[in-house]
Amino acid sequence: MRTRRGLCYPRVVGRMCLDREFSDKTVVAHTKKDMPRESIIIRKRQKRSPDKIAGDSEFFESLPDDLVLSILCKLSSSATCPSDFINILITCKRLNALGLSSLVLTKASPKTMAVRAKNWSDSAHHFLKQCADAGNVEACYTLGMIRFYCLQNRGSGASLMAKAAINSHAPALYCLAVIQFNGSGGTKNDKDLRAGVALCARAAFLGHVDALRELGHCLQDGYGVRQNITEGRRFLIQANARELAAVLSSAASSGVPIRSWLPWNPHPIPHPHPQPQLPHLSGSGCPLLSDFGCNVPAPEAHPASRFLTEWFANRVGSPGSGLRLCSHVGCGRPETRKHEFRRCSVCGTVNYCSRACQALDWKFRHKVECTAVDRWGVEEGEEAADNDAALDGDGDMMVDS
């Protein structure tokens, strides 16, 4: 024997290795044979059967259309922004088809259709048109305002607003009244004061605050209707009362404590929609309610008015050559022809599409900014002779151009 490693016995070593390998396999075989079959199956990787996968995917398809439509109607009526509804439409083909049905689009809220001016596109236009075709009055009013003032499609925009007005939509009635008062989209001879007063009275009957103010000023001034100062003052007080009631009902959701604005406050509440690009239009507090010792937050502007404001602000605030915007921060209406809006006869720096906007802006900010200047250009003299004086909420005289 030469070494302890067994180099002298190659055959013996090889046989020992083979015997050991054979014995290990025998032990493993006996072990598997002795183990129960259930434990061996458990150790294997469990795979989902194709039938189970198909069952999960078909669960949504098995839901009835009526149930899905009911859920989509609730979503479209309670959405806080367009993306809440659009994200559902792009989920799958079935939700897209059911979400664009007339039943769902009819229930869509104004916030669902609150398209921002910077996001305006053909698809947004098509979506609003689908909502309007489905009979949604808010879509008719919003798309009508955009087409009439922004896209300069006067006929189509007026017809859409008329469609909403027929269905007793108060903002559409008031907008048509402003168009009749100014002769918007036409010439100076197209003004129809009586038609404007009639539309304004209908909107006021439905509780529209701006229409109540406009009707009150028309009655006080005898503008398009027989003068009745007492009745006009009653409408102005009713507008203030309705505005106060609306603020009281929404005080809980606004987060502003009531004690901060029910007593008179020398530090007014900031406006909810300030405009950095137009600092002179960034007012604060609700104007006419200060007559009654209140300093409440300004009401939120309608999505259509906010769209007009953003549309022309992104275009350097100019609706066209020589055309002006209404100076009231919550309006956004532009002129459709030169010298269409009234101008302050004292300073000549602000313009208003209606007496309601003039009265609001006067107590809102212009009362502290208005200073007498020299008479403006001679080319505007023809409009100065055409307009008369208007009373604001306090009864102070403001002469319009």
- pLDDT of 144 reads 95
- pLDDT of 188 reads 87
Q: What is the pLDDT of residues 73-122, one digit of tens each?
A: 999 999 988 888 988 888 888 899 999 999 999 999 999 999 888 889 99
Instruction: Answer whether residue 203 shows pLDDT above 90.
Output: yes
Q: What pTM was computed for the model?
A: 0.72
For the chain, the average pLDDT equals: 75
CA distances from 78 to 110, 167, 228, 351, 360 (A): 10, 21, 43, 37, 31
Could you tell me the sign of the dihedral formed by the alpha carbons of 207, 214, 325, 398, in that order? negative
Phi, psi (5° rounding) for residue 149? -95, -40
The residue that leads in pLDDT, 7 or 302, is 302
- Give, in degrees to the nearest 5, the angle at Cα 144 between 302 and 102: 90
Cβ-contact 200, 214 below 8 angstroms = yes
By the 10 Å C-beta count (0-12 exposed, 13-18 middle, 19+ buried), 397 is classed as exposed
Please state, in angstroms and rounded to a whole number, the distance separating the CA atoms of residues 347 and 369: 9
Q: Please name which of 250, 214, 240 lies closest in space to residue 294, comparing C-alpha atoms.
A: 240
The residue that leads in pLDDT, 65 or 15, is 65
Please state, in angstroms and rounded to a whole number, the distance separating the CA atoms of residues 357 and 377: 24
DSSP label of 221: H
Instruction: Answer whether residue 318 shows pLDDT above 70.
Output: no
Please state, in angstroms and rounded to a whole number, the distance separating the CA atoms of residues 45 and 329: 68
Instruction: Answer whether residue 131 shows pLDDT above 80.
Output: yes
Cβ-contact 277, 313 below 8 angstroms = yes
The residue that leads in pLDDT, 132 or 263, is 132
Please report, as a single letter, which amino acid is at residue 233. Answer: R
Please report, as a single letter, which amino acid is at residue 114. Answer: A
Instruction: Answer whether residue 170 shows pLDDT above 80.
Output: yes
Q: What is the pLDDT of residues 249-301, one digit of tens each?
A: 766 565 656 555 554 444 444 444 444 444 444 444 454 554 454 555 666 78
Q: What is the pLDDT of residues 217-243, one digit of tens each?
A: 999 989 999 999 999 999 999 988 888
- Find the radius of gyration of the CA atoms of the chain: 36
Q: Which two tokens stand for residue 134?
A: 């489905």
Label residue 37 by pLDDT band (50, 70, 90): low
Q: Please name which of 267, 209, 265 lies closest in space to residue 238, comparing C-alpha atoms.
A: 209
Task: Give the whole-number percent of the chain exceeding pLDDT 70.
Answer: 65
Q: What is the pLDDT of residues 305-315, one digit of tens each?
A: 999 988 988 77
- pLDDT of 51 reads 52
Instruction: Answer whether residue 324 shows pLDDT above 70.
Output: yes
Instruction: Answer whether residue 177 shows pLDDT above 50.
Output: yes
Please state, in angstroms and rounded to a whole number, the distance separating the CA atoms of residues 135 and 112: 15
Q: Secondary structure of the chain: what % helix, strand, coil (to 5)?
A: 60, 5, 40
Instruction: Answer whether residue 39 shows pLDDT above 60.
Output: no
Instruction: Answer whether residue 45 shows pLDDT above 60.
Output: no
What is residue 277's three-state secondary structure?
coil
- pLDDT of 161 reads 96
Please state, in angstroms and rounded to a whole number, the distance separating the CA atoms of residues 355 and 359: 6
Cβ-contact 182, 200 below 8 angstroms = no
Q: What is the pLDDT of residues 358-385, one digit of tens each?
A: 888 877 678 878 877 655 444 444 444 4
Q: Which two tokens stand for residue 76?
A: 């479209």
The residue that leads in pLDDT, 246 or 233, is 233
Please report, as a single letter, which amino acid is at residue 388. Answer: D
The residue that leads in pLDDT, 391 or 60, is 60
- pLDDT of 273 reads 46
Place of tokens 């269905």: 167
Per DSSP bridges, beta strands 389-391 and 397-399 are antiparallel
